[in-house]
Amino acid sequence: MFKYYLDIDKTEQKRRIEDRLSDPLKQWKMSPIDAVAQKHWKAYSTARNAMFARTHSAMAPWTVVRANDKKRARLGLIMDLLSRLDYKGKDHALLCPDPEIVFAYTRQTVDSGAIAP
């Protein structure tokens, strides 16, 4: 099982919400949750941390992907996923995601601020 958590910081979330409000091509992405997300940032972060603590295991670990930069996040996630699969013609040299973008969840990653507080 592969579990990925795409993490954005509060500033980036605010920017994306503002884009959704002003860009007609992005307005379909807006949800009622988005309208209150910034007000509840701390509560959502606390719930996220509890989710990590309760559901992270050696059999089903969490991998965190910093997603402020969508393109780098997507490429990093794809590289990480492909590096974990066996398939013919696999080129290991191409499957090294940036460890600043893709990294394993640990309690220390929360405590150190590596995951958006």
More confident residue, 86 or 33: 86
**Res. 56 pLDDT band, cuts 50 70 90:** very high
CA 71 – CA 116 distance, rounded (Å):
18
Global confidence as pTM: 0.90
Residues near 55 by beta carbon (within 8 Å), at least 6 away in sequence: 3, 62
| pLDDT for position 32 | 86
For residue 49, is pLDDT > 90?
yes
CA 98 – CA 115 distance, rounded (Å):
15
Q: Average the pLDDT over 56-79 and give the result.
A: 97
Q: Average the pLDDT over 5-22 and give the result.
A: 93
For the domain with range 3-111, which CATH number is right: 3.30.420.40, 3.40.50.300, 2.60.40.10, 1.10.10.60? 3.40.50.300
